[in-house]
Amino acid sequence: MNRAVAEFAPPRALRNPHLQSILASTGPRRWLARRGGALERGANEHLLDCGGGVRLQGFHTAQTVSTQARGLVVLLHGWEGSARSTYMLRTGERLLAEGFDVFRLNFRDHGDTHHLNRELFHSCRIEEVVGAVGEVSRRFRPRQLAIAGYSLGGNFALRVALRAPAAGITLGHAVAVCPVVSPRAGLYAIEGGPRFYERYFLRKWRESLRRKQRLFPDTALFTPGELGGNLRELTRAMVLRHTGFGSLENYLDGYSIAGNALAAMQVPTGILTAADDPVIPVADFRALQLSPQVELDIAPHGGHCGFLADFALRSFAEDYIAQRLLARIG
């Protein structure tokens, strides 16, 4: 295990995994992240041609601490997050300060991008994200290219890294924080956990779907009954109405990285998770069959994408990403 991970020990009052998970994106951390900083002040919007007529939006910020950037890091947010999520802003600011350029990508239908593509986002749309990373590489021609993501963004980052060699993308490193491993197990964990997790995700997803419906009113995306269903029911309706997977189970398996899926990884990779993550079961990580290129670090505490180290709400996850990239591509 990475020595810093082994030594990560938040104060006892911050060790509750639900508190870690909630505070990571809310309250003081959100306020501090959104006060404004070099990341947002220096950001330039880019619309990327991702192939097949798909367009995705992202924000590029060039570092200013050195005459030459160490490299460029593509950051990927979690489900129903965005390029302006708290953890994206905090991580981006940290990487800028270390001399990396940063590109924060919005997935389809995240942030203010619902109008860019008619079809709905779903988690198996990996090819367009690979296309986006390839376009970022061609557009900016960085000295070194890396990718990092949180939660579902961590899952996408790992799948991009798996596909990068075949896509002609030279990727120096990948980092995933609490990535979704088995979507089936993750769905069960949300359903079996405290109700506020399912309510949180459902509220944000329904708002997103209603926004999409207003932008494309010519076809009913969902019935009122479907929109009122629980997370499993609404996901099943989305799969049957808007994908070709034929069943919820086929769809969930479509973006799974469980078992031996990462055994063929050629890109040096770091994965950070917490043993007490209430959303992604740690058993999923312990069952992985990993390539020698992949290092898995399991901290005893941290919740889901929290890893808050002290009462200033500094996140060890940001340190982990920065330290790995400095050591391997910086």
pLDDT of residue 35: 56
Query: What is this structure's pTM?
Result: 0.96
pLDDT of residue 4: 76
Q: Angle formed by the axes of helices 231-242 and 183-192, to 10°?
A: 150
Kindly state whether residue 120 falls inside one of the protein's structural domains.
yes
Distances (CA, A) of 205 to 36, 148, 201: 27, 23, 6
User: What are the tokens at 6?
Assistant: 């082994």
pLDDT of residue 30: 60
Kindly state whether residue 229 falls inside one of the protein's structural domains.
no
Kindly state whether residue 196 falls inside one of the protein's structural domains.
no
Kindly state whether residue 213 falls inside one of the protein's structural domains.
no
Kindly state whether residue 131 falls inside one of the protein's structural domains.
yes
pLDDT of residue 36: 56
Kindly state whether residue 29 falls inside one of the protein's structural domains.
yes
pLDDT of residue 33: 55
Is residue 2 within 8 A of residue 269, CB to CB? The reply is: no
Kindly state whether residue 209 falls inside one of the protein's structural domains.
no
Q: Rounded to an integer, what distance in angstroms lies between the CA atom of residue 274 and that of residue 118? A: 37
Number of domains within the chain: 1
- Helix H or strand E segment including 8: none
CATH code of the domain containing 168: 3.40.50.1820
User: What are the tokens at 51?
Assistant: 């192939």
Is residue 107 within 8 A of residue 84, CB to CB? The reply is: no
Q: Tens digit of pLDDT per residue, the chain (330 long)?
A: 677 787 888 999 999 999 999 888 765 656 555 555 899 999 999 999 999 999 999 999 999 999 999 999 999 999 999 999 999 999 999 999 999 999 999 999 999 999 999 999 999 999 999 999 999 999 999 999 999 999 999 999 999 999 999 999 999 999 999 999 999 999 999 999 999 999 999 999 999 999 999 999 998 999 999 999 999 999 999 999 999 999 999 999 999 999 999 999 999 999 999 999 999 999 999 999 999 999 999 999 999 999 999 988 899 999 999 999 999 987
What's the one-letter identity of residue 320? Answer: Y
- Tell me which residue range forms the domain holding 130: 3-182+257-328
Kindly state whether residue 205 falls inside one of the protein's structural domains.
no
